[in-house]
Structure 1
Amino acid sequence: MPATLARRRVTAALLGLASALVLASCADPADGGTTEVADASGRTTKINTSPDQHRVTTAKVDSIAAEVPEEIRRRGTLEIVDSSGSAAPLTFHATDNKTVIGVEPDIASLVADVLGLEPHFHTVSWENIFVGLDSAKYDVGFSNITVTEERKEKYDFAPYREDNLGFEAKKGSGLKVTGPQDVAGRTVAVGSGTNQEKLLIEWSRENEKAGRKPVDIKYYQNDSDTYLALQSGRIDLYLGPNPTAAHHAATSGKTEVVGTYSGAGATLQGLIAATTKKDNGLVEPLADAIDHIIRDGTYAKVLRRWGLSDEAVTESRINPPGLPRSGT
C-alpha cells in the first residue's frame, strides 16, 4: 500500500477513535460500581466496575478446541498472563480492589470458552509477562501487547484489537501532538519496555537529526505517580495506550488527549495480539477462536461494553506486519 494512502487511512481511523472515546463522564457510587462515559455525539457507555462482571460467554467449538496442543487439552486450563498495572478499561481492579476486570480478561475468557478451557489469570509486572511466556509458565499473554517485528523473533501473535496510542496532557494545556516536532524539548512520560517507548525514542532521534531538541523522556513506577507529575507540571505529556488515556481523561476531568497515533507508526495500523511463545502450537487455535467470536457477535458485545468498538478488527491474521525495527 502506498505510504500516503496508508497514512490517510491511519489518520482517519485515529481521528474517529479520538472523537469516539473522549469527552464527558459521570459516576454514581450508589449504582453498584459503574462509570458512564459519553462521547461528543452524546452516545454513552456505562462501564461496570464492580467485581460482579456478568461476563459475555460463548460455547466451546470442538473443531477449534481439537487444535490445542495435547498437553494443554489434558490440563484443561488456559494459563493467561496480564500486566499488574491498573489501566482502565484494558486491565484494572474492580471496586473491591482485588478482582481483575477489563476488556483484556473479557476477550481472553471468550477465547478460553471456544477452546473448552478454564481461564486462569496471572497478573504480573510487564517484564515478567515475557519471562513467563519464555519459560512456558504461561500459555498466552492478553495484556495490550503490540505486534512488533522484533517481538516476532520470539513470539507468535494472534491479533484481536487495533493498537492506537494517546498523548495525554493536563486539561487546558493548549498542546497538540501530530508528529515528532510537537514533542521536541518536551518532557514526556512513558512506560519502560513498551512499544510507545520505542516510538518516542525514535521521535526524539528524528528531532535531533532535524536540529530540534530531543525529548526529555521520564519513567514512573505507576500511573498514579505519572498523573501526579502531569498535574504538578513536572511533565508535559504522558504517552500510553489511547483507550487508557481517553478513559482517564473522561473519568478524571483533569486531563485531555491532545494527539493520537498508530502503535505501528505513520503508515501502518498497529495491532494488539494474543501472544505466545514462538512455535508452541497455540497461535493457530487462538486465531481461529478469535475469528469465531468475531463471527458469533460476542467479540462485538465485549468491545461495546468497554466503549472500544472503534478498535475492532475483522479477522485475526497470524503474525501480521508489526512496528518496524529501529532504523528500518
Structure 2
Amino acid sequence: MRLPSARLALPALLLLTALAACGEEPSLAPKGAASSEPAPQVSGRTINVGPDQDRITTPKVDAIAAKVPAAIAEDGALTVGFSAEGAAPLVFAATDDTTLIGVETDIAHLVADVLGLKVDAQTSSWENLFLAARSGKYEIVFNNVTVTEERKDIYDFATYRVDQLGWQVIDSSPIRRIDKPADIAGLRVSVGSGTNQEKILLDWDKQNRAAGLKPVEIQYYEKYGDVLLALKSGRVQAYFGPNPTIAYNIAVSGGSRIVGTASGAGPGLQGLIAAMTKKDNGLIEPVAEALNEVIENGSYAKVLDRWGLANEAVPESRINPPGLPRQAG
C-alpha cells in the first residue's frame, strides 16, 4: 500500500491465468465488473463489488456525537483517509472505478453514522496517510493500520479488528509451512515497505543471521498485483502480508494458498487494527465509543460478515492498547 494514485486498483481480483503467460497485462477488473462475469464469492457469500453498496447503517447517538470536538464537527463531515493503492476486501474501488468500498469504508461509515457526520473520503499513498493524519489534514484514518508502540507516540488509536498476517505461496510451491524464522532462511520473500509485517520479517531475518542461517532476500513491490505476478513467475517464493487480502484473493482467484499466519504484533501479543487520529485531537474517545456502540447493536458484526471477516471481530474497542513492540537498535 504505497503507490500514490487517483485510482484504486483491484489486485485481489487479478486473473492470473493465460494472460500473463502470453505476455499481456493481467486484467485488473474484478469478477462481476462485466455483465458476463459472475460476482465474486467468498465464504459462500456473493460479494457486491458495484457502486450501489446499500451499506449497513446505524442511528446517531446524541450523547456520543456531542463529544466530537467542535472544530471537527462544524462542517458536518468526518475527513477519512484511505489508501489509494487498494486491496480487497479492505479498501478498493467498485466497478465504476470511483466509489470506495470494502470493510474499512463500511466501518468508517458506521462510526460517522453514530457521530452524526458524513464521510468525506480522501485517498493517498500508504506513507502519506500517516503524514496527513499527523498534520490534521485527515481527521481519522481507517486503513488496516496496526497499533504499534512507536506509532502511539504520534497518534491515538481505537481498535476494531484483529490483526492477522499471512504467508502466501503458489499452489505448486514445495513450501508447506512457515511458522518460525528458520522457515524463511534463504527464501526470496516479498513484503510491503514501511509496514509492521516488514518489521517482523526483518526481525526474523536478524535472528536467522545470528544463528548462522542463510539471510532472506527481500523484494518490494508497490502493488499486490505485482506481488502475485512475482509469485507466479518465481521471482519470489512467498509473500508476507495482511491475511484478509490474501484469503480474499485465494477465494476469488485461486492458484495460491496460505502456509502460515502470524499476529500483526509479533509473537506473544495479538495484533489489533485500529482507527488512527492525530494524537490528542480529542476525537479518539468518541470514535471508540461509536465503535463500541456498533459492536453492541450488531451492525459491526453484519459489516464483517458481508466481507467474510467475521473471524476478525473484537469484543470491544480499546484506546491505545499495547502494540507491536519497539524495534531494538
TM-score (norm 1): 0.88
Match of 1:53 in 2: 53
Match of 2:245 in 1: 244
Query: Conserved in 1, the CA contact under 8 Å of 2:157 and 2:277?
Result: yes
Within a 5 Å distance, the mapping from 1:130-169 to structure 2 comes to 130-169=130-169
Asked whether 1:84 is paired with 2:75, we answer no
Match of 1:302 in 2: 303
CA distance in 2, matches of 1:30, 1:137: 39
Asked whether 1:201 is paired with 2:227, we answer no
Match of 1:226 in 2: 227
* SS of structure 2 residue aligned to 1:48: coil
Query: Conserved in 1, the CA contact under 8 Å of 2:31 and 2:37?
Result: no
Query: Conserved in 2, the CA contact under 8 Å of 1:27 and 1:36?
Result: no
Query: Conserved in 2, the CA contact under 8 Å of 1:32 and 1:50?
Result: no
Paired amino acid for 1:36: Q
CA distance in 1, matches of 2:253, 2:108: 28
Percent same amino acid at aligned positions? 55
Q: Gaps (5+ residues) in structure 1?
A: 1-25, 39-43
Paired amino acid for 1:259: G
CA distance in 2, matches of 1:251, 1:182: 28
CA distance in 1, matches of 2:322, 2:128: 25
**CA distance 1:190–1:67, change in 2 (3 Å):** same
Paired amino acid for 1:306: W
CA distance in 2, matches of 1:120, 1:145: 19
- Render the CA deviation track for 1:278-325: whole Å, top value 9, x for unaligned: 111011000000000000100000000000000000101100000011
* SS of structure 2 residue aligned to 1:133: helix
CA distance in 2, matches of 1:286, 1:214: 43
Match of 2:95 in 1: 95
CA distance in 2, matches of 1:146, 1:37: 24
Match of 2:323 in 1: 322
Match of 2:312 in 1: 311
Asked whether 1:288 is paired with 2:289, we answer yes
Give 1:31 deviation, angstroms.
8.2
Please say which of residues 92-101 and 291-300 is displaced more in the overlay.
Answer: 92-101
Query: Conserved in 1, the CA contact under 8 Å of 2:147 and 2:274?
Result: yes
Paired amino acid for 1:67: K
CA distance in 1, matches of 2:36, 2:74: 42
CA distance in 2, matches of 1:165, 1:112: 28
Query: Conserved in 1, the CA contact under 8 Å of 2:41 and 2:251?
Result: no
CA distance in 1, matches of 2:39, 2:90: 15
* SS of structure 2 residue aligned to 1:300: helix
Match of 1:73 in 2: 73
**CA distance 1:254–1:32, change in 2 (3 Å):** closer
CA distance in 1, matches of 2:138, 2:254: 38
* SS of structure 2 residue aligned to 1:197: helix
Query: Conserved in 2, the CA contact under 8 Å of 1:33 and 1:50?
Result: no
CA distance in 2, matches of 1:186, 1:150: 29
TM-score (norm 2): 0.88
Give 1:94 deviation, angstroms.
1.1
Paired amino acid for 1:34: A
* SS of structure 1 residue aligned to 2:57: coil
- Render the CA deviation track for 1:35-70: whole Å, top value 9, x for unaligned: 1123xxxxx122111111000001100000001001
Match of 1:261 in 2: 262
Match of 2:114 in 1: 114
